[in-house]
Chain A
């Protein structure tokens, strides 16, 4: 994959639509074959307050889609709906329809365990378990019984760590606690932990907000690499980041999905005034 096309200098500046279109189109056309996740008029309520208002959105296979918007706009809430992490919040209620490969994920017969094995999630703050690095990665495969033998498990651990670009850094201390790693390493460990289950979709909730710029760059590079084989949906508060890594970008505002388009279009030729105000820094 050609990562150089996503250099930050290109993204938010006032380039003409025609120039940027070519770039974005190429990636979208590659990704656009198949709808992976589909949201149809989704509403989310916390108690009596409505956090998400009737959102319709298609997410395509193997694309990187970024959610941006001011804090409290509902982008994280919506992200967590996609693998039903909101189930853990008692007062949260989801209405509407979200389908994965055409099947409703909120259907009563749908098993949330299976869903989350298909749609993994990486959180804002790195949250490695207080166990060894090896056990952190092995946890998911063990949980789901994915490895019959120790060798198989070793293999999964190694390949996942390699995928997360962490193998070289930790291969000599797999039995050391995961909490002893640096923040950026911890976050990549969490990504490797998610990858170890081989999900179809990886959700990332502001994965770099707790990291320094160097660690952020590494994680962004990793996202780029992962997008070859995974569908990635990420929330970010950082517009440059969206511009650097995302194929498409969705702008949320006060519970509404204002617009979604190729990243270049969003940053150079937004259709909605609110999007325009946000990306030019009037608010947020």
Chain B
């Protein structure tokens, strides 16, 4: 709560600073009978920024490091032999108990004298910390205010300064996207390297058996972490999905772009695009309760045994999910093919379908291939459908009606439940994630370059 109070105080100071800057600049303007460089509002904003920004930065730094500092100080004050006798985990528990005592929640049994003493110390430290933080930020804010207010003069280019701050803030926001990518790469690379300290990369990338065992089985029972069965399962499901999505999606796009009446287009397009907005978990459920049983029934009719959860079930559901993705991308690309090319073929006496197949599609091919690659990347990274409907059977086999497992399913399996980042059983998730990231990154980059080239060709 006192943090909130501090923030409120700073905001109030900033409001005051704005007002002071405003009045001061007006006074300057009227007294000396000169033109200010900027409108008074900018001087107000600038003074407020001078007042608030350094104080908030200080506050942020403090919030990041204060808890650690207090903990360290409290641990130092604890009896040395007590600390030495505790494991890391026990020490953490002790610190939690002390913290609970310090903020008045209390612990069951009331706590030992050492704990109570430490808690009192902690409470004292925290109070001191809060008070000094409040004092220091207030001083910084006021100093900033006074300094900026004094600088107000007709020559001070307040607007330019404010705009510089705005531009920097905007630029910083766009850097977040870069940091996200760096974060993804670093986090996965780091954990994957730790995994490779347990398992040799060759055993991972070229291993044909996936049998990780459980981390609780002990260090002696190290499992086998072969990527190939998972990669194979991923490929199988993705290929089935693309075999469903590409013909239907592409033909839909062609019909919508070339044949459909405006009425049909306006009705059917949004309906099919609804498919794109449905969460993947829903497709997974649909696969499990409708597609799987349906395939099973078909199998019974023909006399073969088809499992409810299989590569086929998951692939079909995923295909349905990707249909709108393929169709809307292809639609965009087909409609970008210039009308003059169509006219050229039609003018020679080609029928509509001949025009489409022999002129429009070849001309749109690079773009459409790009769209297919993006669809493939989406299929490979899709998770929930396969978690629910693929059957989780990490074995190398070629029967699409059998259960398979994929990279994404395995990531979920290995990382849900106990989150112990020290065993190869959980760390393998990051190695798998890195593999997945590299594969999809490759597909995306190729696709984006191809599509971009294609766009430029017809601009």
Contact = CB atoms under 8 A, between A and B. Distances in A.
Instruction: Tell me if chains A and B make direct contact, with any CB pair below 8 A.
Output: yes
Interface of A: 83, 85, 88, 90, 112-117, 120-123, 125, 127-131, 139-140, 143-144, 190, 193-194, 197
Contact of A127 (B261, B343, B349, B351): B343
Contacts of B261: 90
B303 interface: no
Interface residues of B, number: 20
A123 B340 CA distance: 8
Contacts of A139: 345, 348, 358
Interface in B327-354: 338, 340-351, 354
A140 B346 contact: no
B359 interface: yes
Contacts of A140: 348-349
Among A85, A88, A120, find the residue whose CB has the most chain B CB atoms closer than 10 A: A88
Contact of B363 (A85, A113, A129): A129
Given A129-B363, A130-B363, A143 B348 contact: yes
B340 A197 contact: no
27 contacts: A83-B347, A85-B347, A88-B343, A112-B349, A113-B350, A113-B351, A115-B349, A116-B347, A116-B348, A116-B349, A117-B348, A121-B343, A123-B347, A125-B340, A127-B338, A127-B343, A129-B341, A129-B344, A129-B362, A129-B363, A130-B363, A131-B362, A139-B348, A143-B358, A194-B347, A194-B348, A197-B349
Contacts of B344: 123, 127-129, 190, 193
B109 interface: no
Nearest to B365: A130
Contacts of B262: 90
B341 A120 contact: no
B342 A88 contact: yes
Interface of B: 261-262, 338, 340-351, 354, 358-359, 362-363
B346 A193 contact: no
Nearest to B338: A127
A123 B362 CA distance: 21
Among B338, B341, B347, B359: residue with most chain A CB under 10 A: B347
A125 B340 CA distance: 8
Contacts of A128: 344
Contact of B350 (A123, A125, A143): A143
Contacts of A127: 338, 340-341, 343-344
Nearest to B351: A113
Nearest to A203: B347
Contact of B346 (A85, A131, A190, A197): A85
Contact of B347 (A114, A121, A131, A144): A121
